[in-house]
Amino acid sequence: MYGAHRVHCLDRRNQHLQPDIDEADAGKRNRRFAPQHDALAERTIEEIGRRIITVFLGVWESPDGQQRMKGLLRSVVTSEEVSRLVREGLLQMIIEPVSAVLGVPDARLRVSLVASQLLGVALARYLVELEPLATATPAEVIDRIAPVLQHHLTA
């Protein structure tokens, strides 16, 4: 629909760190991470909160993933196009597959709450660099966040 329309990050201080994002690039990233997310949907709901945060941090902790995801997160509040891409990615990779596993009437709301937690963790840890969250080990973050995600999904 938008073809090769490019979305540029508006954060001038970090512009050299952030690649331009277009729909084709976003689609490639979605496909690259999709197998990990498909694995979430194929399993039972026990420990699904832990699996979600583990996959999520795995993407953010990789150098390539962190750089790309920071660009997306910075741009999501200033660009309707990037917001749409992120929303579609969350729907495709997390909300729809995990909702199908839950099989409860309010599954999409539950998984949307999980997505909001993930976005908050990413914002605080990687962009704001809020201490001590920013320097906590991935294992520490997983241990603290997994039960919260699990609660949203199964309580």
- pTM, full prediction: 0.73
% of the chain exceeding 90 in pLDDT: 61
> Considering the domain boundaries, does residue 89 fall inside one?
yes
User: Which range marks the domain in which residue 60 is found?
Assistant: 20-154
pLDDT value of residue 145: 98
Rounded mean pLDDT of 75-91?
A: 93
Chain segment 39-77, per-residue pLDDT in tens = 565 567 889 999 999 999 999 999 889 889 999 899 999
Q: If you search the block for the tokens 């891409």, which residue do you land on? A: 85
Question: Are 91 and 107 contacting, i.e. CB atoms less than 8 angstroms apart?
Answer: no
Asked, for residue 8, whether it belongs to a domain, the answer is no
**Token code pair at residue 51:** 């699996």
Residue 45's pLDDT is: 86
For the chain, the domain total comes to 1
61: in domain: yes
Lowest mean pLDDT among 4-13, 57-66, 84-93: 4-13
Mean pLDDT of 26-33: 44
Mean pLDDT of 84-108: 93
141 assigned to some structural domain: yes
| Cβ-defined contacts of 16-20 (< 8 Å, 24+) | 17/67, 17/70, 17/71, 18/67, 18/70, 18/71, 18/74, 18/75, 19/67, 19/68, 19/71
pLDDT(13) > 80? no
Residue 110 sits in a domain whose CATH number is: 1.10.357.10
How many degrees, rounded to 5, is the angle at CA 64 between CA 62 and CA 69?
A: 90
